[in-house]
Amino acid sequence: MTNSSAIELVAFDIAGTTVQEGGQVYVALEEAVRALGAEPTAEQIESWMGADKRAAIRGLLAASGIQADPELIEAGFADFRSRLDTAYVQNPPTPMPGVVQLFSALRDRGVKVALTTGFDRPVVEQVLAAVGWDGSTLDAVVCVDDVDAGRPSPAMIQRAMQLLGVADPTLVAAVGDTVRDIGAGRAAGAGLVVGVRSGETDGKTLSDAGADAVIDSVADLLGVLP
């Protein structure tokens, strides 16, 4: 954890961290791979939380002994997207309690706010429209299809840093609710890596993955910033 008195950028995950979507993304993911013949366990689904969804589909199929070609992966991804679209129409995502106020407080301090996500850009646009966030709320949004590798690669955090002119990773706080979020923060060399218990992963697991601090919700973040 950094001893710096300043954080210049906070890179937040979306689903389960800043946006409440009730775990619908993982329901849609499981249904899509089951439709392709896979039989994933709850632990296998959990292991892909926060990941690029195409990679998750490939990995879950492989875990069931199904070696998928690119065409099958794309079919599974299209099915996943269709299921998620339907779920979000029926139960629209909502901001986590206190997150809008947190974004405002950070930006008032001169701290830049970025979102990073394992969703592709079309899904992200749908989510952001549902919660009403735009450039007046956020400084940058980096999607998995903007970079070469999804979490736990640091690529999305590094892309946010590049976009926002933050050169020193120790001046970055990475915040997320999955083990892959924590791994990405560690890989990026972030000065502060924070786990959030508002998703599907418990605090001990987040701490064991390398989180410097674990909080109940993003509304508590100011209390752990240096």
pLDDT at 51 over 90: no
Tokens 């998750």 sit at which residue? 56
Element (H, E) at 89: helix 70-90
Residue 193 lies in a domain: yes
Q: Is the pLDDT of residue 176 over 90?
A: yes
Q: Does residue 178 share a domain with residue 75?
A: no
Q: What's the CATH code of the domain at 195?
A: 3.40.50.1000
What's the pLDDT score for residue 212?
98
Residue 212 within any structural domain of the chain: yes
> Higher pLDDT residue, 2 or 145?
145
Average pLDDT, the chain: 94
What does the pLDDT look like over 110-140, one tens digit per residue?
A: 999 999 998 889 889 989 999 999 999 999 9
Residue 160 structural domain: 9-20+94-223
pTM for this one?
Answer: 0.86
Beta bridge partners of 213: 194
Both 152 and 133 in one domain: the answer is yes
d(CA 198, CA 94): 13
Q: Alpha-carbon torsion 40, 45, 48, 50, what sign?
A: positive
Output the six-digit token pair for 172. Answer: 């970055």
Distance (Å, whole) CA 195 – CA 58: 26
Provide, for the chain, the percentages of residues in helix, strand and coil under a 3-state DSSP scheme, each rounded to the nearest 5.
Answer: 50, 15, 40
Which DSSP category does 171 fall into? Answer: G
Kindly state the average pLDDT of the residues 133-150. 94
Q: What is the domain count for the chain?
A: 2
- pLDDT of 1 strictly over 80: no
pLDDT tens track for 25-50:
989 999 999 999 999 999 999 899 88
Note the pLDDT of residue 120. Answer: 86
Q: Are residues 77 and 99 in the same domain?
A: no
Please list, in sequence order, all residues whose beta carbon lies within 8 angstroms of the beta carbon of residue 202, skipping any fewer than 6 positions away. Answer: none
Domain closes at, from 65, 90, 115: 90
Residues 114 and 53 in one domain: no
pLDDT score at 19: 96
pLDDT for 200: 83
Single out the residue in 90, 106, 130 at which a domain terminates: 90
| 8 A C-beta contact, residue 11 and residue 160 | yes
94-119: average pLDDT: 96
CA 213 to chain centre: 17
